[in-house]
Amino acid sequence: MNFYQKGGSEYLFVCDLFKELRKKSNLSQADAANHIGVNQSFISKFENGHTGIDLFDALALLDLYGIDHVDFFYMLDQFKKKEIRKGALLHYFLSRS
């Protein structure tokens, strides 16, 4: 299975990570949606793993949440290589936003 395959457990974890980063930033789905020019239902579908997101929109959300792009993708790569666990990855980002 492809690591980022839509509907896969890793894919759903990344979607959930975006949700947790938004909540940690005290932003609503509507706030996130307005930032990237989509409607609130799109953010809901993305955070719940029902739709994908454009790379540039994902980067814009990371900016909104105060997360460095390089850091985010480096840590995701560590997770993919199983060098870091889900809980540690989640803690790492939530302690920084």
* pTM as predicted: 0.85
Q: What CATH number belongs to 18-94? A: 1.10.260.40
pLDDT in tens, 9-33: 788 889 999 999 999 999 999 999 9
Q: What share of the chain is helix, strand, coil (3-state, %, to 5)?
A: 65, 0, 35
CB proximity list for 13: less than 8 A, separation 6 or greater: 86
Q: Is the model more confident about 80 or about 56?
A: 56
Question: Which pLDDT does position 4 carry in this prediction?
Answer: 63
Rounded Cα–Cα distance for residues 94 and 97 (Å):
6
Can you tell me the mean pLDDT for 62-76?
93
